Structures are given as structure tokens and as C-alpha cells.
Structure 1
Amino acid sequence: MTLRLSAILLAAGASSRMGRPKALLEYRGETFLDRQIALYASLGARVICVLGHDASFIASRLRRAGEALLVLNPAPESGQLGSLQCGLRALGPADDAFFFTPADSPGVRPETLAALLAGFDPQTDGFVQPRHNGLHGHPVLAAAAMAPRFLSLAPHQSARDLIRNCRRRFISVDDPFVLLDVDTPETYQALAEGRLG
């Protein structure tokens, strides 16, 4: 069965620890966000990028902006849940499932996404997550039926709260990038030098 997919890329944060927008950091010749747009678009997914802090600056520097729907989170200080909710409001009505992931995970492999999709049934699964070395990471693949439940969460709650309390399966993958969040200059330097992944 071919799934009708969207992918929500969360890029609204202030990147305060990094000191510059993480979405525009480069990895293998492309910005983090451009790489992810290309990756998810290659699956046939409708790509939704949620921007907030520095939105105009980021949008003006994306090479693949025309391949994605850019959505503004007007209150990015509300955190990732608020950004996810902004992205969910832009889902297509016919979607079977959606990925969501932070923009600072640039190296996830296409095979990882293929494994998640192969192991996913939107009729019986709430969520599927990759697992590497016993730890689960990003992206999360969710059934479209989960969208209203995310949208009903209050600001003091988190997406993690919902995911933990729903039907969830893990798919083991040989991809250390599912665990990587590039939050600091030191982590980015290690990534750029090939010491991660």
C-alpha cells in the first residue's frame, strides 16, 4: 500500500546554544533544512517546514524553499509542541501518515525512512520510531489519526506525553544519525569533521 505522506520539519527554535540558525548550518554541501526537504520530498511526501525565529532570514536562504510549504509559528517560544501543532494544521485532509522531526538531524539515511515506512500500518500503529543501539530517536512516523490528539494537547504538555501513551513500535536501524541533535557548536564541529555518524 502506498501511503499518502506529509513530513513536518521543525525549525522555529531560537538556536540559542548554537548562536546562529541551525536550519542554515551546512552538512555535505547543503543546509540542514535543504537536506531534509530533499530527503522527505524524495519519498513523495508533502514537506511542511515550520519556521519561527529568524523566519524571513531562513526562508530567503533556502535553495529548496519552493519544494516545501513554509509555515510560520507566531509564538516560537511556545516550544516544539507549538511548532508541531502549526505544522499539523497544514496537513492534507487525505494524508495517511506524517513524519515529524527537528531540523537539526541532517544525516538520517534514506534506508532508515524506508524501514520505518515498511514497518508501519496506519490502521494499527499510532507511532513508529527508529531505534539504534537500544535508544529511540527521530524521525517519528505517526498515523494521521494522531493529529487531532496532538492538536488537543495543552501548552504545558509535550508530544512525548502523547507518544508514550499510545500504540508505539520501534524499528531497529543501523543509523546513528537518528540519535543526533546538533545543538552546540562543539557537536556541529564534530559532525563537520566526520566524527559523528
Structure 2
Amino acid sequence: MMHAAILLVAGRSSRMGSLKGLIEWQGKLLVVHQIEQLLKSKIEQMIVVLGYQSEVYQPIISELGSSVTIVWNENWEQGKSSSILKGITALPKDCRSILFVNIDQPLQFSVVNQLIDSFEQTKSPIHLPIFHGKRGHPLLISCELLPALSTINEEEQGLKKIIRAYQKDIRSVEVDDPHILYNFNTPKDMKGE
């Protein structure tokens, strides 16, 4: 049974004014940082969903190794839910959990490993990191919830629909990393780097 990650890189990044994955973060392109952190973690299958300007990202991602599966969301303009659904189609049959990672929310492999460890130790289907009582990213969901995940859409706020439906089953994992609260939507958001 595998732990998989879906990295969402398909959006236009219109509020940022440039492609978020090409922003420099800790001395590297953000897309490179995200993939390298996932490769260092306990994630066994990585799926990167591309859409807008995929031709820019594809060679960068390809250089990072063959263990990354790239899928293209031709419906990227329909929102993040369409990219999540596209990523789900590439999951391995023996999927145990899925880590949903947005390109604009920088992560550390140690947080990923803490979420996977928590998943392994409990029966909770959803695991979220928290820092000083605040929920952050990324989100780890059991593959047992794939039927529910396959019903998400933008009108019902995508993954938030799943979080609402399984609120009592969420396991919060305390981590010592303020980055879980970061969300880079505009150039101003980058100042928290």
C-alpha cells in the first residue's frame, strides 16, 4: 500500500502576476523545492498536475527524476477541483493515502513524514498539520475516501467539502513549522519568507 502525493501546478497564478512555481523560494524555484521535499519524504508515488503553461514546467520537472508522474489537466481553467480529479485518475491501485500539495504552499519533508506517521498510527481518514493551534497545509487523506473525493467540484469548494463532511474524523498533527501556514497568492505574501 502506497502513500501518494498530488502536487497541483495547473493554475494561471493571476494574482501573483507570474507563475508561482517559478518564484524563488529558499534559493530554488518553488516547483523544484516542492518536488525535492516530497522526494525526501515517505511519499512513494508523486503525481504533478500541470495545466497553464505546462510546457514551461515540464522540462524542469523531468530533470528531477523519473519517479515523478506528470499529468496534464486540459480543463485547468475550471479550477483546482478539476486538477485534483485529474490527479486522482493517476493514483496507483494500491494507494493508501493521498497528500494534496498546492504549489503556493511551501512544505518541508519532515511535516509530510509526521502526517504519514500519524496516519499509520491512527484510523483517522484525514490528517492536517497545526502550528500553534492554527490549521495549515498539506492535507493527507485516506484512499478509502476516494469515492467521496471523486464528487468534489468548485461550487462546493473542492476539498473543503470533504473536510466539512468528515470534520469529526480529522486528526490534527502538531508540527514545529510555521511554513504550514504560508500561502503565496500575491507578491506581498512572499514577504513572510
Structure 1 and Structure 2 fold alike (TM over 0.5):
yes
Could you tell me whether the CA contact under 8 Å between 2:119 and 2:125 is conserved in 1? no
Higher share of residues assigned helix: 2
How far off is 1:36 after superposition?
1.4
Report the TM-score, using the length of structure 1 for normalisation. Answer: 0.87
TM-score, with structure 2 as normaliser: 0.89
Give the partner amino acid of 2:23. L
Tell me the distance in 2 between the aligned counterparts of 1:81 and 1:10.
Answer: 10
Residue correspondences, number? 188
For residue 90 of structure 1, what is the aligned residue in structure 2? 90
Residue 176 of structure 1 is matched in structure 2 by 178
In structure 2, what is the equivalent of residue 30 of structure 1? 28
The aligned residue for residue 108 of structure 2 is 109
Residue number among 179, 187, 190 corresponding to 2:189 in the alignment: 187
Aligned counterparts of 1:154 and 1:145: Cα–Cα separation in 2: 19
Query: What is the RMSD computed on CA atoms of the aligned residues?
Result: 1.8
Q: Deviation digits for residues 67-96 of structure 1, max 9, x if unmatched?
A: 411111111122111111111111000011
- In the alignment, which of 8, 26, 36 is matched to residue 10 of structure 1? 8
The one-letter amino acid paired with 1:111 is S
Q: 1:53 to 1:65 in 2, by over 3 A?
A: farther
Partner secondary structure for residue 77 of structure 2? helix
The answer to whether the 8 Å contact 1:96/1:122 transfers is no
Q: Cα offset for 1:122?
A: 8.4
Which consecutive residues of structure 2, in runs of 5 or more, have no partner in the other structure?
A: none
Percent identical residues: 27
Report Cα offsets for 1:3-29 as digits up to 9, x if no partner: 611100011111001111101212123
The answer as to whether partners of 1:32 and 1:105 remain within 8 angstroms in 2 is no
| Letter in structure 1 aligned against 2:159 | A
Give, in whole Å, the separation in 1 of the partners of 2:132 and 2:122. 28
* 1:159 counterpart letter in structure 2: L
Structure 1 residue runs of 5 or longer lacking an equivalent are none
